[in-house]
């Protein structure tokens, strides 16, 4: 390769360094000044303040400035890897970005794999950018100390990230693979569709005959590699370029992506200190809620940010204003970008011609006791809000948001003078325990009970323990208060080895290679992971070892190779002894081989124990067979269920309509007593979908259930089980 004409660029580079706000930042770009859809050719790199080498590969055909995905600001660099292609000629791109040589240098960039990213076909791996020097020794060449070196990164199977090092001490023809590992010992695995900040430091060996060079790496601010004792050069070659070298391969079709896919780069920084390039979290600007011109005539925004941030306002990808305040009477979507010295964040807001309600389509109450529904509209004295649940108006619910704890169909109507009324609705389901709110006489002794069986814990609003069991007797407090009840035995979590490591073998003797486990009380296996070696169909069985019956059998088709396959299971098991196998799977699976951390049993106390891999044959070896990262659940694992208690005087109780009705069941009827004439009774399924609605004509209501399917129904928040 023709070496770069370095001297031509030196004067320009030193001018750039001197002009920089931070003199130790050599080069930086977030691609914000380039037009979306253009190829990032050498002249555009130069316009960004970089000094590209006199050659490149793939910039014109396979790079684009993207304005749909960005880690910071509104642009990123998208790099394409065409389906069924491999190598530098037909996938990815290559360009060396030059700078004055240093003995120690830092670089960082943000990296994202597209949601459909393919790690390969039967061989899994591809190159990623890193620091380099001299002739950037790579491609299977011998690094002899005079022809340069390179310290790029790579992806491997399943998104594992590694350092791929070409230096004088590499032991084989190709580069040295070194797994990046988090401080807790787990490997760095990149998920598709997620941004990762990669920081690299390289320090040259101090003399031609010394092996004291270093490579260090961080991912999202966590140190994941410190490699010492390296020898890069025997001459005056040092660190002098950032090598964007990314492609699938490998040198044969086994490395090809199975789909046309992309990586995205953003916020590339080159500097002489860690502080220049390190992972930093920027404060996100907040424009507030969307604004409607029919209400206010002109939309005005005031974004409060620290003084060291510069704010830019954009519309349709073009900058239209700067500063903390902005006003407009033109409808559209606006983005404010808050830039600091090292990073940026943005916020999006809509200026609307008319009122628009933007409720999320569905919600599920489980991870918290309450959720808040949000219209995405600002409070305004000129706008009226009215919420309903299952067609019934909710009193005093007249704000842009509504905090709730119950399942149902929620609708909001929004109106203002000179605006057309807007409505929105959302379906809310709940996994909380079924428990009724209670209104009764203050200071009266009342009984609280649950229909479910289990070990339940009751607490007051301050978290103080009331007691345990299916029911509690308490004194009704005065006014409105909440108590909370939760399943003490509820559990949701994971068990087993978390993931496959690079130390993997392939197995397909599935009638012998299965996982045995013991269930100590009723639970559900929600999902597990396997690792196909290539595209295959996987068939899984769960066998009751006490009577040798098959309790679960399912085939998962067209699973991709070289990646984790997350398989939904959803089988409920009682206490007993079981095993899971993969008989019928059409190609081998990977398993972990002699990892030092493999140690059976993998146990969640009192719930489940993975006891081994076919104990008679393999459990005396350091192997972990086929089935990883089991996700299991038991009991009601949702947050504590709130029960609203309203204690009132006797006179107020007589004035207040309440739902203290009683439900009884006969063979084919629900009988509801204690109703108020004219009120509505709503019946939903267990997920909160409205099935029937009845208007009450007297204090009693009889509902025929002869043709109802067996299952759980919710009658005005109360659970009813129908069984024949």
Write out pLDDT tens, residues 185-237: 889 999 999 999 999 999 999 999 999 999 999 999 999 999 999 999 999 99
% pLDDT > 70, the chain = 93
Q: Is the pLDDT of residue 436 over 80?
A: yes
More confident residue, 662 or 92: 92
pLDDT at 687: 63
- The one-character DSSP state at 640 is P
3-state secondary structure of 206: coil
Confidence of residue 588 (pLDDT cuts 50, 70, 90): very high
Provide the pLDDT confidence category of residue 16 given band limits of 50, 70 and 90: very low
Asked if pLDDT for residue 670 goes beyond 50, the answer is yes
Distance between CA 625 and CA 582 in Å, rounded? 11
Distance CA 408, CA 364 (A): 10
Residue 18 has pLDDT above 70, yes or no: no
Q: Decide if pLDDT at 240 tops 90.
A: yes
Q: Cα separations (Å) of 719 from 139, 434, 435, 440, 563?
A: 67, 6, 8, 21, 43
The answer to whether residues 155 and 597 touch, using CB atoms and an 8 Å cutoff, is no
The Cα 390–Cα 75 span in angstroms is 44
Longest alpha-carbon distance in the chain = 99
Residue with the two structure tokens 């409808």:
331
42: helix, strand or coil:
helix
Angstrom distance (rounded) from CA 476 to CA 641:
18
Q: Which residues pair with 536 in a beta bridge?
A: 559
Sign of CA dihedral 208, 210, 212, 217: positive
620 Ramachandran zone, left/alpha/beta (phi>0; psi -120 to 50): alpha
Give the pLDDT band (50/70/90) at residue 682. Answer: confident
Residue 532 has pLDDT above 60, yes or no: yes
- Three-state secondary structure call for residue 12: helix
Closest CA to 265 of 577, 552, 28: 28
**Can you tell me the distance from the alpha carbon of 497 to that of 501, in angstroms, rounded to the nearest whole number?**
10
Lowest mean pLDDT among 410-424, 486-500, 522-536, 695-709: 695-709
Q: Which of 335, 242, 277 is nearest to 36 (CA)?
A: 335
**Which pLDDT does position 616 carry in this prediction?**
65
pLDDT for the residue numbered 4: 36
Mean pLDDT is lowest, of 17-21, 41-45, 128-132, 162-166, for 17-21
Q: Cα 613–617–621 angle (5° rounding)? A: 70
Mean pLDDT in residue range 502-519: 89
Cβ pair 412, 375 in contact under 8 A: yes
Q: What's the confidence (pLDDT) of residue 676? A: 78
Per-residue confidence (pLDDT) for residue 15, from 0 to 100: 31
Residue 445 has pLDDT above 50, yes or no: yes
3-class state of residue 486 by DSSP: strand
Dist CA 90 CA 331 (whole Å):
43
Taking only Cα atoms into account, the Rg of the chain, rounded to an integer number of angstroms, comes to 32
- Strands 93-102 and 239-246 turn out to be antiparallel
Range 430-435 average pLDDT: 91
- Residues 608-617 have pLDDT tens digits of 999 988 766 6
Run of H or E including 107:
strand 104-113
Mean pLDDT of the chain: 89
**CA–CA dist 571, 338 (Å, integer):** 48
In contact, 65 and 38? CB cutoff 8 Å: yes
Band of the pLDDT at 594, cuts 50, 70, 90? confident
Q: What are the phi and psi torsion angles at 262 (to 5°)?
A: -145, 150
Query: Which pLDDT score is estimated for 307?
Result: 87
Question: Residue 633: which of 480, 522, 507 has the closest Cα?
Answer: 522
Q: 624: part of which helix (H) or strand (E)?
A: strand 623-624
**pLDDT at 449 (0 to 100):** 86
Q: Give the pLDDT of residue 442.
A: 86
Which pLDDT value is given to residue 674? 80
The answer on pLDDT for 85 being more than 90 is yes
In this prediction, residue 20 carries a pLDDT of 37
Percent of residues, the chain, with pLDDT higher than 90: 67
**More confidently predicted of 558 and 688:** 558
Question: How remote is the C-alpha of 282 from its chain's centroid?
Answer: 19
Which pLDDT belongs to residue 3? Answer: 38
CA atoms in the 13 A half-sphere facing the CB of 605: 0
Report the range of poorest mean pLDDT among 2-11, 138-147, 690-699.
2-11
Residue 389 to residue 410: CA distance in whole angstroms: 5
109 and 198 Cβ atoms separated by less than 8 Å = yes
Q: Rounded to an integer, what distance in angstroms lies between the CA atom of residue 165 and that of residue 663?
A: 72
Residue with tokens 């140690």: 599
- How sure is the predictor about 618, in pLDDT bands with cuts at 50, 70 and 90? low
Write the secondary structure of 523-572 as one string of H (helix), E (strand) and C (coil). Answer: EEEEEEEECECCCEEEEEEEEECCCCEEEEEEEEEEECCCCCEEEEEEEE
- In this prediction, residue 651 has a pLDDT band, given cuts at 50, 70 and 90, of low
pLDDT value, residue 652: 56
Neighbours of 576 (CB within 10 A): 14
CA distances in angstroms from 151 to 93, 207, 308, 444, listed in the order given: 17, 19, 34, 75
pLDDT at 314: 93
Residue 171, H or E segment: none
Calpha distance 309→404 (Å, rounded): 38
The stretch 332-354 carries a mean pLDDT of 90
The sign of the torsion formed by the CA atoms of 439, 444, 449, 454 equals positive
Q: What are phi and psi of 137, to 5 degrees?
A: -45, 125
DSSP conformation class of 618: I
Q: Where are the alpha helices (DSSP H) in 66-209?
A: 87-90
Q: Are 150 and 174 in contact (CB under 8 A)?
A: no
Q: Quick check: 148 and 138 in contact, CB under 8 A?
A: no
Q: How many CA atoms lie within 13 A of 425 on its CB side?
A: 11
């Amino acid at each position: 390769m023709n070496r770069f004409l370095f001297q031509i660029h030196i004067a320009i580079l030193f001018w750039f360094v001197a002009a920089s706000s931070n003199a130790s930042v050599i080069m930086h770009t977030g691609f914000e000044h380039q037009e979306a859809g253009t190829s990032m050719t050498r002249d555009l790199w130069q316009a960004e303040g970089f000094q590209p080498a006199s050659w490149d590969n793939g910039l014109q055909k396979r790079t684009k400035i993207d304005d749909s995905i960005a880690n910071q600001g509104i642009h990123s660099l998208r790099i394409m890897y065409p389906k069924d292609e491999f190598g530098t000629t037909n996938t990815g791109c290559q360009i060396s970005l030059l700078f004055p040589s240093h003995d120690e240098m830092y670089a960082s960039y943000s990296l994202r794999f597209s949601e459909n990213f393919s790690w390969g076909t039967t061989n899994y791996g591809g190159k990623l950018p890193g620091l380099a020097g001299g002739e950037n020794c790579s491609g299977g060449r011998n690094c002899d100390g005079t022809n340069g070196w390179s310290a790029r990164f790579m992806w491997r199977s399943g998104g594992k990230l590694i350092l791929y090092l070409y230096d004088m001490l590499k032991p084989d023809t190709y580069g040295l693979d070194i797994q990046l590992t988090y401080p807790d010992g787990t490997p760095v695995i990149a998920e598709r569709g997620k941004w990762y900040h990669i920081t690299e430091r390289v320090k040259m060996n101090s003399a031609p005959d010394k092996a004291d060079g270093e490579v260090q790496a961080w991912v999202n601010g966590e140190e994941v590699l410190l490699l010492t004792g390296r020898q890069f050069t025997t001459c005056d070659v040092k660190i002098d370029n950032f090598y964007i070298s990314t492609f699938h391969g490998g040198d044969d079709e086994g490395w090809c992506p199975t789909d046309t896919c992309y990586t995205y780069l953003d916020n590339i920084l080159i500097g002489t200190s860690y502080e220049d390039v390190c992972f930093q979290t920027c404060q996100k600007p907040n424009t507030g809620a969307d604004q409607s011109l029919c209400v206010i005539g002109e939309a005005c925004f005031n974004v409060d940010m620290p003084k060291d941030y510069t704010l830019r306002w954009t519309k349709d990808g073009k900058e239209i204003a700067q500063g903390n305040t902005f006003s407009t009477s033109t409808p559209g979507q606006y983005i404010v970008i808050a830039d600091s010295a090292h990073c940026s964040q943005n916020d999006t807001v809509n200026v609307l011609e008319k009122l628009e309600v933007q409720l999320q389509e569905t919600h599920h109450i489980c991870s918290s006791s309450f959720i808040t529904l949000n219209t995405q509209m600002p409070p305004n004295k000129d706008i009226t809000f009215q919420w309903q649940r299952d067609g019934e108006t909710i009193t005093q619910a007249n704000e842009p948001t509504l905090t709730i704890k119950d399942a149902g169909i929620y609708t909001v109507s929004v109106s203002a003078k000179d605006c057309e009324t807007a409505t929105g609705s959302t379906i809310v389901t709940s996994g909380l325990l079924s428990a009724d709110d209670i209104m009764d006489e203050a200071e009266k002794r009342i009984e609280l009970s649950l229909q479910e069986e289990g070990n339940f814990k009751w607490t007051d609003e301050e978290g103080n323990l009331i007691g345990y069991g299916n029911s509690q007797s308490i004194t009704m407090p005065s006014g409105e208060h909440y108590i909370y009840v939760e399943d003490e035995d509820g559990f949701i979590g994971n068990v087993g080895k978390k993931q496959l490591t690079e130390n993997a073998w392939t197995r397909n003797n599935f009638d012998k290679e299965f996982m045995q486990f013991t269930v100590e009380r009723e639970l559900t296996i929600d999902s597990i992971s396997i690792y196909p070696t290539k595209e295959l169909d996987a068939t899984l069985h769960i066998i009751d070892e006490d009577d040798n019956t098959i309790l679960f059998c399912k085939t998962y088709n067209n699973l991709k190779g070289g990646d984790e396959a997350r398989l939904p299971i959803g089988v409920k098991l009682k206490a007993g002894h079981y095993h899971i196998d993969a008989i019928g799977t059409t190609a081998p699976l990977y398993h972990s081989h002699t990892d030092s951390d493999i140690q059976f049993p993998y146990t969640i106390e009192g719930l489940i124990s993975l006891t081994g891999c076919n104990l008679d044959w393999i459990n005396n070896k350091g192997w972990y067979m086929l089935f990883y990262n089991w996700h299991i659940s038991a009991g009601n694992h949702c947050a504590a269920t709130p029960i609203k208690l309203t204690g009132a005087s006797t006179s107020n109780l007589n004035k207040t309509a309440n739902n203290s009705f009683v439900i009884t069941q006969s063979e084919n009827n629900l009988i509801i007593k204690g109703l108020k004439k004219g009120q509505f009774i709503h019946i939903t399924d267990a997920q909160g979908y409205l099935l029937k609605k009845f208007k009450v004509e007297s204090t009693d209501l009889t509902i025929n259930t002869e043709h109802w399917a067996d299952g759980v129904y919710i009658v005005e928040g109360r659970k009813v089980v129908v069984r024949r």
